[in-house]
């Protein structure tokens, strides 16, 4: 069995190929329509639609560029929203719903609390954030995507953490004293 290990992001073309189908983990009914599309003033990694026909765009950011990614995503979403009705006419077989709002998925190696707060405070449909890492699995590289939940989601507050297990307090079966000890260490 091949050894799995976290690796750096591959070049953009290889990254887009790897993400083409993997975005279906985040977007129910994902159907990619175009990649590397010229948008407002930069390129949009993916334009596609979900199972309901809503246009969804996906942008991939770099480490440390999470706040800029949120701003770019909002600009690109507005740019795409002004064109969806035309695209639906030009390509009716794409199944785009001309009247639906544009969904936005942002992927990056890390999202700091300020970027998460900015994304949640933005108007329009909710922005979906996800941590993106790549795993070398022998001969190839595969994306490892972890959605960052809503504010009410227990795991959402750890979106800036460098490592996440997905375990909850119930999984760990900690006493209140043990949990308080760990929470105190996190504050330091």
Give the total residue count for the chain: 188
Cα gap 17→155, rounded to integer Å: 29
Answer whether 104's CB lies under 8 Å from 127's CB: yes
Which residues neighbour 115 within 8 Å (Cβ) at sequence distance 6 or greater? 66, 67, 69, 70, 129
First to last CA, the chain: 40
Which residues neighbour 12 within 8 Å (Cβ) at sequence distance 6 or greater? 36
Which residues neighbour 77 within 8 Å (Cβ) at sequence distance 6 or greater? 57, 102, 104, 124
In this prediction, residue 2 carries a pLDDT of 63
Torsion, Cα 72 74 75 76, to 10 degrees, reads: 80
Domain ranges of the chain: 4-187
In this prediction, residue 9 carries a pLDDT of 86
51-61 confidence digits (pLDDT tens): 999 999 999 99
CATH class as words, domain 4-187? alpha beta
Beta-bridge mates of residue 105: 58, 128
In this prediction, residue 159 carries a pLDDT of 39
Cα gap 156→150, rounded to integer Å: 6
52-106 confidence digits (pLDDT tens): 999 999 999 998 999 999 999 999 999 999 999 999 999 999 999 999 999 999 9
Cα gap 159→164, rounded to integer Å: 8
In this prediction, residue 112 carries a pLDDT of 96
Please tell me the pTM assigned to this model.
0.78
Regions of the chain with pLDDT less than 70 = 1-2, 150-174, 178-188
């Amino acid at each position: 069995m091949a050894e799995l290990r976290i690796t750096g992001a591959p070049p953009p073309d290889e990254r887009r190929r790897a993400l083409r189908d993997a975005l279906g983990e985040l977007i129910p009914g994902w159907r990619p329509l175009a990649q590397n599309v010229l948008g407002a003033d930069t390129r949009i990694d993916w334009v596609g639609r979900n199972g309901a026909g809503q246009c969804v765009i996906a942008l991939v950011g770099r480490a440390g560029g999470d706040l800029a990614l949120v701003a770019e995503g909002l600009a690109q979403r507005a740019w795409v929203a002004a064109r969806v009705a035309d695209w639906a006419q030009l390509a009716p077989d794409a199944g785009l719903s001309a009247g639906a709002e544009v969904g936005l998925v942002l992927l990056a190696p890390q999202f700091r609390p300020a970027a998460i707060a900015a994304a949640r405070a933005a108007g329009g449909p909710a922005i979906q954030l996800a941590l993106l890492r790549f795993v070398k699995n022998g001969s190839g590289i595969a994306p490892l995507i972890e959605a960052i939940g809503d504010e009410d989601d227990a795991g959402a507050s750890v979106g800036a953490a460098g490592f996440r297990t997905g375990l909850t307090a119930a999984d760990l079966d900690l006493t209140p004293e043990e949990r308080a000890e760990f929470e105190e260490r996190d504050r330091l």
